Structure 1
C-alpha cells in the first residue's frame, strides 16, 4: 500500500525507489559493495540529481495487488555525471520510463548546501556519451537537454509547448528536516516533485481531483539548507478537459536563487470514486 496513492502508483514513492537503485547502481558500476565515495582528502562525495524525466507514464492503471517490474540500467556519461534508465512494466505492459542524471558533488569544508561543487571520480568505466535508446523524441539525451536549458534557456520539445504565460502564481513551503531531506543533508529530489504537486493543488488543482503524471521533465540547479524555504512559481499553465501542462520554477525563498525548473504534463482520471 505505501507504493500507491489515490491516483494509482505513487510517483513520490517511485522516485525514492529509483533514487536508491541509481545510488546502488553507481556502487556496482565502480566495483563496490556499498556507495561510499570520497574525495582525495576523505570528504564524502554524493550523487546529486541534475535532471529527471518521466515519459509515457500510466501510473493510474496500477492498483492493489498489481505487480510492478522495474528494469534498471546505470551508465557513466561524463567525468562527473552518470545516468540511469528505468523501464516500468506491469505483466509486460509498459507503464512508464524514468531517467535520472546525477553529478558527483562535495561540500566545501565546513560549508553547507550552498557550497556544493562537482568532483570527478576515476573509479568508473569510460563514459558512454550517448547510450543507444536513451535519447528523447528530439534526439538529444536528457543530460544534453538539461545543459541546453541552463546555458540557452532551451525548453523541452513540443510535448510541453502548449502552456500559456500566467501571472507567476507562487506558493511557499517550509521543508521539514525529518520528511524532506535525505541522510546526506540535502533536500531530496523527490521532495521537489512533492512541492510542485502541492502548488498545483493550491493553484486550482481541485478541478482535477485525480490528476496523474503522464510526462515530466525537471532540471535541478541547486539546493537549500534545513530551515530555508522553497517558493514554487508557476510560469506557464494550460488546463483542458482531460489534461494540463505547466512550467514551474522552484526558488530559494530567501534570495530567489533558482533551485529547479519543472515541465509537467498531467492527465485527469474520471471521478469514479470518492477521495
Structure 2
C-alpha cells in the first residue's frame, strides 16, 4: 500500500467546508523543486497532493494535525488505492509560472475517501488529479499485510464507492475487469521488464512504506529504458494507477510492460508492478504520454 505521509506543503491557505469535505486552495511559484526536464514534475505534484489529501482528512476529523489512531492506540494511515490524472498539460509549465491547486475531499465509503485536485495556470486548466485512500493499520510483520480501519468520528459517506475511481479500484483489485482503456487485462505476455531495488532514503515514506509517487517513478524509469529514442521528453496526458500491495526495504520491484501503442505524437502503455521475489501484484499503471 502507499501511504500519504506529509512531505511538506505549499502553504496554509486552508478553508473547511461543512459536510461535503474540505477545500484547500493555494498558489505556488514554480522553481527547480517543482519542475523536471519536461515541465511540471509529476513526482513533486503527487507528493504535494498526497500531503493535501492527508491534511484534509485531519481537518475533516477536527484534528489540528493528522494523527489518527485505532481503538488500541496504534497509528492509522491513509493508504492510496488509486490515482487518476486527466487532461494534463504539464509540459507547458516552466520556471516562475504560478500554479494554483484547488483541492476538495469527500468520504465515499466506511473506510475510503476521495480527493479531487484541479490545476490552473496562465488562465487555463492544467489537469485534474483524483486520489482514493483507505485507512489502514500496518502489520507487525512488515509491509506485506495491512488491515483496513474505519474512523468513526468522520462525516458519513457522500457518494457510493461503486461509482467513479473508488469503484474502478475495487474492480481492478478483484480482477473483475477483462479490459481497461482498451488494454487486454487477461494478456499474460510481457514485452519488456526491468527490476528496480527501491532506495530507503529516496523511495520510502516516513511510515516505512514504499511511497505511492515512487511507483509512478518506477513506471517512468521503465519507459525511459524501453523508449529512450522515441520519448526523450515524454509528458503525461492521462494516467490511472491502481495499488494493491507494498514491499519491505531490500525487496525488488519488477516493472513489466504488457502492452504498448505508439502514434501521432502519443505513447500509451500498460505496466504491471510486482514483487520480484514472489510475483505478487503491487500495482497496474495505464499511461498516455505526449512525445
The 3-state SS of whatever aligns with 2:154 is coil
1:98 pairs, out of 129, 132, 136, with 129
CA distance in 1, matches of 2:146, 2:172: 20
Q: CA RMSD in A?
A: 1.8
1:69 and 2:100 are equivalent in the alignment: yes
Q: Contact conserved, 1:12 with 1:190, CA < 8 A, in 2? A: yes
TM-score by length of 2: 0.84
TM-score by length of 1: 0.89
2:68 pairs, out of 37, 50, 58, with 37
CA distance in 2, matches of 1:51, 1:252: 18
Q: For residues 175-194 of structure 1, what are the structure 2 equivalents within 5 Å?
A: 175-194=198-217
CA distance in 2, matches of 1:187, 1:125: 29
What residue number does 1:127 align with? 157
Deviations along 1:185-221, one digit per CA (max 9) or x if unpaired, are: 0000000000000000111233111110000000000
1:14 and 2:70 are equivalent in the alignment: no
CA distance in 1, matches of 2:191, 2:173: 20
| Consecutive aligned runs of 4 or more in structure 1 exceeding 2 Å deviation | 153-158, 164-168
2:177 pairs, out of 153, 157, 166, with 153
1:130–1:61: structure 2 CA closer, same or farther, 3 Å change rule?
A: farther
CA distance in 2, matches of 1:155, 1:2: 37
CA distance in 2, matches of 1:130, 1:86: 20
CA distance in 1, matches of 2:191, 2:281: 14
1:219 pairs, out of 242, 264, 280, with 242
2:87 pairs, out of 46, 56, 59, with 56
CA distance in 2, matches of 1:53, 1:68: 19
2:59 pairs, out of 20, 23, 28, with 28
Deviations along 1:209-239, one digit per CA (max 9) or x if unpaired, are: 1110000000000001111110000001111
Which structure has more strand as a fraction of its residues? 2
CA distance in 2, matches of 1:175, 1:190: 12
Gaps of 5+ in 2: 1-31
The 3-state SS of whatever aligns with 2:126 is strand
Q: How many positions carry a matched residue from both structures? A: 257
